[in-house]
Structure formats: structure tokens, C-alpha cells
């Protein structure tokens, strides 16, 4: 077992630490209920069935759940209701996500979750959760997976998962230190959520009421300020206010997998759109020679990008020092006349309920999750004066900058947490019980 653990830094552990398996330190370790085998009947309201997909970022997110009635709840709760101090671990699909039960919840766990009950005289549950998080970040369980279409780990693999244990008091101190960082991250997450809600409210108001207007009129997009105009996107193209509007539908020129290289001209898909910007670290690349063959989807600095295929809706403002980048089939660019349409205003407009309602209505009439470029051009836009466009974008940009700062702050704390886990959970750095950390 020690040979397997060397990648995690367990090859040189302190003398007073012990290496145990998860099965050794658990009073109970079993999968959740197999609702098919047990012939459980779902109801519209009742007690939730928690599945692996509901464990996200070490938290329980009870959305899109199925429910069981009172009879099945009473029948199965003794075994499948998680209790205080127990740990849930996803074992199918996304493997190794964990959550510590800090208060009893009236729900049952499904068969794609393992319930782990640490023996508290041996292992402090919050410490075990951190140890499992550490292994998850190093993809330990992923290396043990079986199955072709859906990956999973079985009971014996879960039970043999290695847990490195310091003395109990040190476990408690390590868990306390790591939970302090988690608390900081939780605060930032709350601030991000509040800022996103603020931006959403501001966008709704500014895109329908504008700034300082007292006179309004009815339009095909609802009530808007009297001085604003409603214009079809195709008309903006005809008038030259949108200079170019193209997607990455390359047809026969679509690049093959073996044409992508480690460095070169970025090939941007919708999954590169992060917080209204392009995250170039997520992009594939093509050679300059190959990139020069494309005639569509050749985007440039200052273009506004819209995800129109598969994942519909995310937007990004393209900032690059390169002469051009290439868009994939999932993205469209808008190149704007910057004397009549403010690019940042257009970015926010594409994110607004006014635009979103139009494409969602069309998508609802089709089984395909996409908004083709010809369809985009049939949609209506709402345009204030150029000066008011800039004022609106400046207000909304303020919230985006705050979100950027918070996102960077969160990244720093996440990296701090990873560093602390690497040091504290392997014994490379020891903690003093009456202080914080010592070498």
C-alpha cells in the first residue's frame, strides 16, 4: 500500500502517525438504497432521495430530487438516513466528492453514495472528510475506477482507501485550521452570490427603465423609455452598426483532433467563457498555417462572443493581443461599430432577460439546444442613445469588477487550502496544539 501512496507524500510519515484503511476506522460503510431493487415508488412530495449529483463542492444541493412517501421513509430511514458525524462519498460518475453531515437531514441516500461512519475514538470525522478531500484532489479514487460508460468504485475499494492518522488531538487541530479557510471561502461565495443578484437586479432595471427617464412607451419588448429604439439585429447589420456577425461553423474545414497543438492560435469554444471573459487556459490551439484557412468564426480583439450551441447563453468580451482567434461551432461573434453601439453595453444586452426571453422562446419550440446565427438576426435589440449605453455599461461593469476581485480572492484561498492540505495531511508540517502551524 505504501508504494501507491508515494504520489500523495505519504512515503515518509511521522513516527506517531499511523496508516489505516477507511474500513479500519469506520463503524459502518455501506451504499445507499437501490430504489429499483427495493421497488421504491416516487411521489411528488415527501422525503428526498439524495444522489451523487447533489453533492457539489462539498455541499448538499437539493435540486431536481425525487421523493419517497411516509411508508418508505419509515421503512428505510434507520439504514439510509445520514446521521450527525457521518460522511457521504459519491462512488459513481463523479467519484470521491464528500460531505460531512453536521446536522441530521430528513432524506435517504441513493445507491451511488457511500455512507461512512468513522469510529470517533480513532478518527475525528471532520479530519477524515479533509483526508478524503485530499485524495479526491489527487484523483486517487479515479485511478481505481471500473466500468466503461459509467465509472464507479466498489465497496472493497472504498474500504481500502488509505487514511493517514495523526494522534486524535492533532487531527482535531488540523481539521480546525482547514475549516477556518473553508469558512473564509464560504463568506466569499456568499459575497459572490449577493453581487450576482445585485447585478441581475441592476441589469433588469437598467435594460428596461434606463437612467433618469420619466417618460415611457410600449414596445414589442415591453415598456421602455420614450427615447429608446427597438431594432432587429438584421437591421443593425444592414445599417453597418454591427460590422460583422459570424459563427464558427467551419463545415468541411472543421479541425480534426490530431490537428490541435499545445501552443498556437487559440481555438475558443463556449466552455472557455468564464465570468464574461475568455479563459485562454481552457482553449485548444491550432497552428498559424491551419488557422489561416478559416473564413468564418475568425474573431478579433473587442468582439462580443455569444455561446449559441449546446450550452446557450454565456457571453464573453474578447480581449487579446493576437491578430485573431478562431471560434468553434459553439460560439458566435458580434463585431460592432464602436461609434454607435458600445461593445460592453451589447455584452450586457446579450445577457439580459430581454434577449434571453427571445432565444428561450424559440428553443422551447425545438428539441435542439441551439440558436443558429440566422435566428439570432431575427431577434430584437433595445438601444438607448450611445451615451446612455456607455453609462449603463459602466454601472454594470462596476459589479463585474467586484465579481472579478471576489473570484480572484476565492482562488487565492482555494490555493491556500490545497497547500495546507498537502503540508498538514502528510505530516510534512506539524501543528502545535496550542498554536497554529510549525515546521
Higher pLDDT, 90 or 58: 90
pLDDT value at residue 2: 43
In a domain, 158, yes or no: yes
pLDDT value at residue 64: 86
- Strands (DSSP E) contained in 6-77 are 18-21, 26-31, 42-43, 47-50, 55-56, 59-60, 66-68
- Of 244, 254, 379, 378, nearest to 299 by C-alpha is 244
**What angle, 0 to 180 degrees and rounded to 10, lies between the N-to-C axes of helices 353-363 and 168-209?**
90
In a domain, 238, yes or no: yes
pLDDT value at residue 92: 85
Could you say which DSSP state residue 38 is in?
A: T
Do 28 and 150 fall within a single domain?
A: yes
Q: What is the mean pLDDT of residues 66-94?
A: 93
Q: What is the mean pLDDT of residues 8-31?
A: 86
In a domain, 96, yes or no: yes
Do 263 and 343 fall within a single domain?
A: yes
Do 247 and 354 fall within a single domain?
A: yes
pLDDT value at residue 5: 53
Do 251 and 376 fall within a single domain?
A: yes
Do 45 and 127 fall within a single domain?
A: yes
Q: What is the mean pLDDT of residues 288-307?
A: 95
Do 283 and 147 fall within a single domain?
A: no
pLDDT value at residue 1: 45
Do 41 and 115 fall within a single domain?
A: yes
Stated pTM of the model: 0.82
Higher pLDDT, 3 or 402: 402
Q: What is the mean pLDDT of residues 311-333?
A: 95
Do 156 and 259 fall within a single domain?
A: no
Q: What is the mean pLDDT of residues 307-320?
A: 93
Residue after which a domain boundary falls, among 130, 163, 196 = 163
Higher pLDDT, 2 or 208: 208
pLDDT value at residue 311: 87
pLDDT value at residue 439: 44
How high is the mean pLDDT of the chain?
91
List the domain range (segments joined by +) for residue 92.
Answer: 17-163
Residue after which a domain boundary falls, among 143, 163, 183 = 163
Instruction: Judge whether residue 164 has pLDDT over 90.
Output: yes
Q: Which grid cell is 171?
A: 487531527
What is the DSSP code string of 162-185?
EEEE--HHHHHHHHHHHHHHHHHH
Residue after which a domain boundary falls, among 163, 178, 201 = 163
In a domain, 210, yes or no: no
Q: Which of 89-93, 168-172, 404-408 has the lowest mean pLDDT?
A: 89-93
Instruction: Judge whether residue 149 has pLDDT over 80.
Output: no
Instruction: Judge whether residue 47 has pLDDT over 80.
Output: yes
In a domain, 343, yes or no: yes
With cut-offs at 50, 70 and 90, classify the pLDDT of residue 61: confident
Are 47 and 106 within 8 A, CB to CB? yes
Do 236 and 150 fall within a single domain?
A: no
In a domain, 185, yes or no: no
Q: How much of the chain, in percent, has pLDDT values that exceed 90?
A: 77
Do 149 and 21 fall within a single domain?
A: yes
User: CA angle, 339 as apex, 377 and 328 as ends, to 5°?
Assistant: 40
Place of cell 419509515: 74
pLDDT value at residue 146: 65
- pLDDT tens-place string over residues 363-411: 866 667 889 999 999 999 999 999 999 999 999 999 999 999 999 999 9
By the 10 Å C-beta count (0-12 exposed, 13-18 middle, 19+ buried), 248 is classed as buried
Question: Total domain count for the chain?
Answer: 2
Do 133 and 261 fall within a single domain?
A: no
What is the DSSP code string of 342-383?
-HHHHHHHHHSHHHHHHHHHHHTTSSS-B--HHHHTTSEEEE
Instruction: Judge whether residue 144 has pLDDT over 90.
Output: no
In a domain, 121, yes or no: yes
pLDDT value at residue 208: 94
Q: Which of 145-154, 253-262, 312-321 has the lowest mean pLDDT?
A: 145-154
- pLDDT tens-place string over residues 258-281: 999 999 999 999 999 998 999 999
In a domain, 133, yes or no: yes
Do 238 and 117 fall within a single domain?
A: no
User: What CATH number should be reported for the domain holding residue 309?
Assistant: 3.90.220.20
Rounded Cα distance between 146 and 151, Å, is 6
Place of cell 455599461: 393
Amino acid at each position: 500500500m505504501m508504494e501507491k501512496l508515494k504520489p500523495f507524500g505519504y512515503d515518509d510519515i511521522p513516527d506517531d502517525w499511523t496508516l489505516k484503511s477507511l474500513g479500519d476506522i469506520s463503524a459502518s460503510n455501506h451504499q445507499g438504497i437501490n430504489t429499483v431493487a427495493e421497488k421504491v415508488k416516487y411521489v411528488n412530495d415527501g422525503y428526498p432521495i439524495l444522489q451523487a449529483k447533489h453533492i457539489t463542492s462539498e455541499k448538499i444541493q437539493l435540486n431536481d430530487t425525487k421523493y419517497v412517501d411516509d411508508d418508505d421513509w419509515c421503512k428505510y430511514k434507520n439504514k439510509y438516513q445520514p446521521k450527525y458525524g457521518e460522511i457521504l462519498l459519491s462512488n459513481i460518475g463523479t467519484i470521491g466528492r464528500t460531505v460531512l453531515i453536521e446536522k441530521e437531514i430528513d432524506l435517504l441516500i441513493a445507491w451511488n453514495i457511500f455512507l461512512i461512519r468513522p469510529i470517533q475514538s480513532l478518527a475525528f470525522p471532520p479530519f477524515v472528510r479533509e483526508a478524503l478531500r485530499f485524495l479526491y484532489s489527487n484523483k486517487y479514487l479515479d485511478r481505481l475506477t471500473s466500468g466503461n460508460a459509467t465509472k464507479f468504485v466498489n465497496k472493497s475499494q472504498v474500504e481500502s482507501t488509505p487514511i493517514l492518522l495523526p494522534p486524535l488531538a492533532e487531527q482535531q487541530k488540523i481539521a480546525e485550521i482547514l475549516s477556518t479557510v473553508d469558512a473564509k471561502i464560504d463568506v466569499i461565495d456568499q459575497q459572490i452570490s449577493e453581487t450576482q443578484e445585485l447585478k441581475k437586479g441592476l441589469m433588469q432595471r437598467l435594460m428596461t427603465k434606463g437612467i433618469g427617464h420619466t417618460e415611457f412607451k410600449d414596445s414589442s419588448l415591453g415598456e421602455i423609455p420614450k427615447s429608446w429604439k427597438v431594432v432587429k439585429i438584421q437591421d443593425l447589420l444592414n445599417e453597418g452598426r454591427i460590422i460583422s456577425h459570424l459563427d464558427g461553423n467551419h463545415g468541411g474545414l472543421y479541425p480534426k483532433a490530431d490537428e490541435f497543438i499545445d501552443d498556437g492560435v487559440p481555438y475558443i469554444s463556449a466552455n472557455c467563457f468564464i465570468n464574461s471573459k475568455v479563459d485562454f487556459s481552457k482553449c485548444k490551439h491550432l497552428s498559424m498555417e491551419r488557422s489561416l484557412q478559416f473564413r468564418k468564426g475568425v474573431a478579433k480583439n473587442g468582439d462580443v462572443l455569444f455561446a449559441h450551441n449546446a450550452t446557450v447563453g454565456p457571453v464573453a468580451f474578447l480581449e487579446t493581443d493576437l491578430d485573431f482567434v478562431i471560434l468553434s461551432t459553439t460560439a458566435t461573434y458580434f463585431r460592432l461599430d464602436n461609434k454607435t453601439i458600445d461593445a460592453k453595453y451589447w455584452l450586457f444586452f446579450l445577457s439580459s432577460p430581454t434577449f434571453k426571453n427571445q432565444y428561450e422562446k424559440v428553443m422551447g419550440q425545438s428539441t435542439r439546444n441551439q440558436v443558429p446565427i440566422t435566428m439570432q438576426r431575427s431577434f430584437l435589440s433595445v438601444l438607448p442613445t450611445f451615451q446612455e449605453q456607455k453609462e449603463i455599461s459602466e454601472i454594470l461593469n462596476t459589479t463585474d469588477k467586484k465579481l472579478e476581485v471576489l473570484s480572484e480572492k476565492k482562488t487565492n484561498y482555494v490555493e491556500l487550502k490545497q497547500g495546507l492540505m498537502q503540508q498538514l495531511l502528510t505530516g510534512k508540517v506539524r501543528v502545535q496544539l496550542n498554536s497554529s502551524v510549525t515546521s
